C-alpha cells in the first residue's frame, strides 16, 4: 500500500504541473537524438503528447541527430537547468563512457536522470535452414565448424555487437562479428543465408521469426516478449548473465532542482501507466519500464562497468 500511495501522490502531482515550477513562462523541449520518423522519434512524440495532455504544458519534440546521440546530449547538458529541456536518452549514455575515450561531456554527470522509459531486448536469430534448433545446439554447431562463423549486426560498438561478443566467448571465439551500416542490411543477408546469424534488438527480426525465415534462439529480456513469444529468454536457458536490452530513458540538465526532477519523474511515470501509451510503445517493440531517477542513474552506471569489461576483453575499438 505504501508504494501505491506514493505512486498515486506522484500521479496527482503530475496532473497539477501547470501550477508548479518547471516550464513556467515557456514551452518544454523533448530532444530526440535521432532524425524524425524512426521508432525512437515516434516513442518520444507519444510520450510528449501524453505528458502535454496530463500536465497542460506545451511539450515539443526537437530532433537533434548526430555524433552517435552526442549532439543531443551536449545540447541538453548545456541548457538552463530548470526542467524546460528534456531528452530521450539512449544506451549510448552508458556505452560511450565504457570505451574510455575523450567526450565533450560526461552524460552521467552532465545530465540528470529523470526516469527509465522503455527497453528493447537483444535477440540472437539464425537462418531457418541452420541445423541448430536451440541456443545450446547453435553453440555446439559453431564450435564444430572448421572456420569462423559470422554474425551480423547493425554497427560496430553498439550493444548488439557487445552482446554478441559475450555469446562468442561460449564458442571459444569462433563466432565472429560482421558490422553492417544498418540493421535492415544485416538482417537481409542473414535471411538470404549469406551470414549464418543475426544479433540485434527484437525489431525488425521479430517479423522474420514469425514468418519462419529466421529462428530466434535466445532473447535478452527478463521474460518472454509478446512479439516473439516462441523465443526463450536467457534465464530460461540457465544463462541470466546474457540478459541485455537497448534501453531508453528521460534526462534533463544537471543542476536541475530536485523537486523539479521529481515532478518530471511523476509525469513520465503517469504517462507510461496510460494504456494507449503502453500499447503504442509495445507496437514499436518497446517494453515500457518507468521507475525512479535513482534506479535509472544506477542502471547506466552499472551497464558502463559491465560493458567496459567486455570491450577490454574483446579488444573492441571505439565506434567512429
Q: Is the pLDDT of residue 85 over 90?
A: yes
- State yes or no: pLDDT of 3 exceeds 50: no
Q: pLDDT at position 13, please?
A: 39
Whether the pLDDT of residue 14 is over 60: the answer is no
pLDDT digits (tens, 9 = 90+) for 187-220: 999 999 999 999 999 998 999 999 999 999 999 9
Q: What is the residue-averaged pLDDT of the chain? A: 92
Residue 23's pLDDT is 52
Q: How much is the average pLDDT of 101-121?
A: 97
Q: What is the pLDDT of residue 22?
A: 54
pLDDT tens sequence across 145-183: 999 999 999 999 999 999 999 999 999 999 999 999 999
| Of 197 and 3, more confident | 197
| Fold of the CATH domain 2-119+245-313 | D-Maltodextrin-Binding Protein; domain 2 (3.40.190)
Q: Please report the pLDDT score of residue 95 as a whole number.
A: 96
Percent residues over pLDDT 70 in the chain: 92
Question: Is residue 2's pLDDT more than 80?
Answer: no
State percent of the chain over pLDDT 90: 88
d(C-alpha 215, C-alpha 13), whole Å: 46
Q: Which residues contact 58 (CB under 8 A, 6 or more apart)?
A: 27, 28, 52
Q: What is the pLDDT of residues 282-308, one digit of tens each?
A: 999 999 999 999 999 999 999 999 999
Beta carbons of 28 and 60 less than 8 angstroms apart: yes
pLDDT for the residue 10: 41
Q: Which residues pair with 113 in a beta bridge?
A: 251
Average pLDDT estimate for 90-96: 96
Q: Which pLDDT value is given to residue 320?
A: 76
Q: Is the pLDDT of residue 257 over 50?
A: yes
pLDDT of residue 319: 86
Q: Tell me: pLDDT of 137 over 60.
A: yes
CATH number of this structure's domain 121-243, picked from the four choices 3.40.630.30, 3.40.190.10, 3.30.230.10, 3.90.25.10:
3.40.190.10
Residue 246: pLDDT over 70:
yes
- Surface-to-core class of residue 113, CB atoms within 10 Å of its CB (0-12 exposed, 13-18 middle, 19+ buried): buried
Q: How far is CA 182 from the centre of its chain?
A: 16
d(CA 228, CA 8): 33
- The domain ranges of the chain are 2-119+245-313, 121-243
Amino acid at each position: 500500500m505504501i508504494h501505491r500511495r506514493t505512486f498515486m501522490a506522484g500521479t496527482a502531482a503530475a496532473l497539477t504541473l501547470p501550477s508548479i515550477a518547471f516550464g513556467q513562462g515557456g514551452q518544454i523541449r523533448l530532444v530526440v537524438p535521432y532524425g524524425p520518423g524512426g521508432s525512437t522519434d515516434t516513442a518520444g512524440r507519444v510520450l510528449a503528447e501524453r505528458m502535454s495532455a496530463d500536465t497542460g504544458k506545451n511539450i515539443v519534440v526537437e530532433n537533434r541527430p548526430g555524433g552517435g546521440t552526442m549532439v543531443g546530449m551536449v545540447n541538453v547538458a548545456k541548457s538552463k537547468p530548470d526542467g524546460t529541456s528534456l531528452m530521450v536518452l539512449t544506451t549510448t549514455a552508458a556505452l560511450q563512457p565504457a570505451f574510455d575515450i575523450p567526450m565533450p561531456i560526461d552524460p552521467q554527470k552532465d545530465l540528470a536522470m529523470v526516469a527509465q522509459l522503455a527497453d528493447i531486448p537483444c535477440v540472437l536469430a539464425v537462418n531457418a535452414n541452420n541445423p541448430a534448433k536451440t541456443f545450446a545446439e547453435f553453440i555446439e554447431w559453431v564450435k564444430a565448424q572448421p572456420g569462423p562463423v559470422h554474425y551480423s549486426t547493425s554497427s560496430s560498438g553498439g550493444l548488439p555487437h557487445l552482446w554478441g561478443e559475450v555469446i562468442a566467448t561460449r564458442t571459444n571465439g569462433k563466432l565472429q562479428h560482421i558490422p553492417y551500416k544498418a540493421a535492415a542490411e544485416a538482417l537481409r543477408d542473414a535471411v538470404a543465408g549469406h551470414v549464418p546469424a543475426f544479433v540485434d534488438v527484437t525489431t525488425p527480426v521479430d517479423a522474420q521469426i514469425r514468418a519462419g525465415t529466421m529462428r530466434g534462439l535466445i532473447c535478452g529480456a527478463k521474460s518472454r516478449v509478446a512479439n516473439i513469444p516462441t523465443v526463450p529468454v536467457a534465464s530460461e536457458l540457465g544463462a541470466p548473465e546474457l540478459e541485455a536490452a537497448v534501453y531508453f530513458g528521460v534526462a534533463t540538465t544537471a543542476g536541475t532542482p530536485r523537486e523539479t526532477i521529481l515532478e518530471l519523474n511523476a509525469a513520465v511515470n503517469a504517462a507510461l501507466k496510460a494504456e494507449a501509451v503502453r500499447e503504442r510503445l509495445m507496437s514499436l517493440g518497446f517494453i515500457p519500464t518507468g521507475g525512479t531517477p535513482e534506479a535509472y542513474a544506477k542502471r547506466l552506471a552499472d551497464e558502463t562497468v559491465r560493458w567496459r569489461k567486455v570491450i577490454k576483453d574483446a579488444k573492441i575499438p571505439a565506434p567512429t
